[in-house]
Amino acid sequence: MTKIAIIAACLLLGACASPVTRIEPVPTTENITHLCIKENKKVWSEGFLPEVRSQIEERNIKTELLTPNTDCEYIMTYDAQWSWDWFWTLSTYLSMAEFSVIKSDHQIGMASYTAALGPSAIGQTKNKIRPLLIELFRK
C-alpha cells in the first residue's frame, strides 16, 4: 500500500510541475531590425521555423535564412525537440526549445524552454515559444 501511495504522490507532483525557462534578453541597446536565422535541419517539425519567423516579425524585426552569401550583423540559432506523452495526451509535445542571438561571434541573448512532465506539457508549440521570443527581443 505504501508503494502505491508513493507512486501516486510522484505522479501528482509531476502533474503540478511547471516548465523551466531561462531567458537572457538581448540588451535594449541593440536595435535589431534585421535578423538572419541559421536553419537547423535536425528540428523535427516543419512548422517550427515558420512559426518562429512569424513571431519575430511581429516584433518588427525582418528575418531571413542565413546563407553562405548573407551578410548579417545579427544571427539567431535554434534547437527544438519533441517528446511523446504516453499519459496525458498520447501525442507529441515540445519538450525543449533553445534560441541564441549572436553578434560578432558573441552571444548577446538567449532563451530556453524545457517542459515539465504532466499537464503543463500540453499545448501548442506556438504558445510555448511566444513568451520566450517576447522576452528575448523585448524593447
What CATH number does residue 122 fall under? 3.30.160
Residue 48 lies in a domain: yes
Q: Is the pLDDT confidence value at 84 over 90?
A: no
Return the pLDDT at 1.
52
Residue 13 lies in a domain: no
Residue 90 lies in a domain: yes
Residue 61 lies in a domain: yes
Residue 2 lies in a domain: no
Confidence at 15, pLDDT banded by 50, 70, 90: very low
CA separation for the pair 99, 110 (Å, rounded): 5
Number of domains the chain is built from: 1
Return the pLDDT at 9.
45
Residue 7 lies in a domain: no
Amino acid at 50: P
CA separation for the pair 46, 37 (Å, rounded): 15
Rounded to an integer, what is the distance from CA 123 to the centroid of its chain? 13
Cα distances (angstroms) measured from residue 34 to each of 30, 31, 74:
11, 9, 7
Whole domain around residue 130: which residue ranges?
Answer: 18-136
Residue 32 lies in a domain: yes
